[in-house]
Amino acid sequence: MFSVVEIAGEQLKVSPAERIFVPKLDQKVGEIVTFDRVLLVADDKNIKVGNPTIKGASVQAKILAHVKDDKVIVFKKKRRKGYRVRRGHRQQYTEIEITSIE
């Protein structure tokens, strides 16, 4: 069984007991969150496609941790001008575990 759900503007294919990284959520570690923007639900025999979402369907997940991605360096330079800029960025993610699809 799997589902396609929209979480923080991203469409993700999820299945029960799966751990995924999503853009940072505001909830605390250990909380249960419910995502109700379910776009597709499929099991062994049936496939339900929403228009745009499936009414009454939801995906529940438990927040495991808030983590940061590897640093991305942005380096700009103009030759012979003495112009150099070095900036870094670390994207923040939330690790969640899908507990159930209803």
For residue range 23-33, what is the model confidence (pLDDT) as tens digits? 999 999 999 99
Is residue 40 in some structural domain?
A: yes
What is the separation of C-alpha 62 from the centre of its chain, rounded to a whole number of angstroms? Answer: 13
pTM value? 0.83
Number of domains, the chain: 1
With left for phi above 0 and alpha for psi between -120 and 50, is residue 20 left, alpha or beta?
A: beta
The residue segments making up the domain with residue 36 are 2-65+95-101
Q: How many CB atoms lie within 10 A of CB 82?
A: 7
For residue range 70-97, what is the model confidence (pLDDT) as tens digits? 999 999 999 999 999 999 999 999 999 9
CA atoms within 13 A on the CB side of 96: 29
Is residue 79 in some structural domain?
A: no
